[in-house]
Structure 1
Amino acid sequence: MAIEVERKFLVTADTWRAQVQQVSEMSQAYLNDQGRASVRVRIEDQQATLNIKQAVAGPARLEFEYPIPLGDARQLISRLGGGRIEKRRHRVPAGRLTWEIDEFLGANAGLIVAEIELPSPATPFDRPAWLGQDVTDDPRYYNHQLAQHPYTQWGTV
């Protein structure tokens, strides 16, 4: 069974930018908008994946990810994709771990979230000075929620 253990934080400063070692452009769409799992197609640079993830908030969730042909991913996004996310992912090394800092674009512009995948929920990690509030348990900050309820619309009813 594949379990993703991940912590998610808001970012409070830009000092992380000097430590970035890799940047990827990402586009993704969700093929289902409700239920017990999110099913998403993601294009990262020129690679595509199909991802199925348990739709619960918290640090540990079931996750399965499979590579798919880029042309198939483009068709799935354009023809079947519901909510969409555009973001730029920056990777910052943290010892044997890596921070993935997502700078959201489009309808989620202005939101920057840092994630770190851990081998287990008890794995210790350093908290850089640019790390803000822990939002691991706040479903609003999960990509499948941002696809349906964009950050730029949170202040509106």
Structure 2
Amino acid sequence: MGIEIERKFLVDHKKWEAADKPEGQKMQQGYIVNEQDRTIRLRIAGDIAYLTFKSGKGISRHEFEYEIPANEATELFRQFVKTGIEKTRYHITYADKLWEVDVFEGDNEGLIVAEIELDNEYEQFELPPWAGQEVSHDGRYYNSSLSVNPFKNW
């Protein structure tokens, strides 16, 4: 993958509830390395799993993601993951752009975040009606941060 350029927005709960949306997919994410400027993440979504390496800060970060067998991911989770999160992800196309909306569960329940991946940091796009305040530069909203300082503690 190389470079991921991603912007994040809080989601208005009432507008989200009223929105037409597809079925979401439950995900479990855990962190093998969870440092301020780099992470190694393990994600299990149904019978598909990924190992992801990220580094950097801000909206442009290096990202390398590899699909791995789900049974191996389950074992890696058991042996190496210390912190994690659970969420349901929805994929929604709005104004010809793909949005990923994460509805968090567990200690992060009540938090809904929308993400959009861009081709460059200055790319223009239209916000969906349920997208609110931008939080791209607030590190608290990184999934890796939520795994150690969950939303319920804010």
State whether TM-score is above 0.5.
Answer: yes
CA contact (8 A) 1:33 1:82 kept: no
Q: Partner of 1:109 in structure 2?
A: 109
RMSD over aligned Cα, in angstroms?
A: 1.5
> Gaps (5+ residues) in structure 1?
none
1:28-43 correspondence to structure 2 within 5 Å: 28-34=29-35, 36-43=37-44
- Name whichever of 72-81 and 12-21 sits farther off: 12-21
CA contact (8 A) 1:102 1:114 kept: yes
CA contact (8 A) 1:30 1:38 kept: yes
> Gaps (5+ residues) in structure 2?
none
Q: Partner of 2:97 in structure 1?
A: 97
Following TM superposition, the consecutive aligned residue runs of length 4 or more in structure 1 with deviations greater than 6 angstroms are none
- Name whichever of 36-45 and 143-152 sits farther off: 36-45
1:70-89 correspondence to structure 2 within 5 Å: 70-89=70-89
User: Does residue 38 of structure 2 align to residue 54 of structure 1?
Assistant: no
Q: 1-side partners of 2:90 and 2:9: how far apart?
A: 14
Q: 2-side partners of 1:149 and 1:35: how far apart?
A: 13
Q: TM-score of the superposition, structure 2-length normalised?
A: 0.92
**1:128 to partner: Cα distance:** 1.9
**1:13 to partner: Cα distance:** 3.4
**1:36 to partner: Cα distance:** 3.3
**1:91 to partner: Cα distance:** 1.2
Q: TM-score of the superposition, structure 1-length normalised?
A: 0.91
Q: 2-side partners of 1:2 and 1:64: how far apart?
A: 6
CA contact (8 A) 1:38 1:55 kept: no
1:65 aligned partner, one-letter code: E
Percent identity between matched residues is 41
Q: Partner of 1:66 in structure 2?
A: 66
Q: Partner of 1:9 in structure 2?
A: 9
Q: 2-side partners of 1:135 and 1:95: how far apart?
A: 21
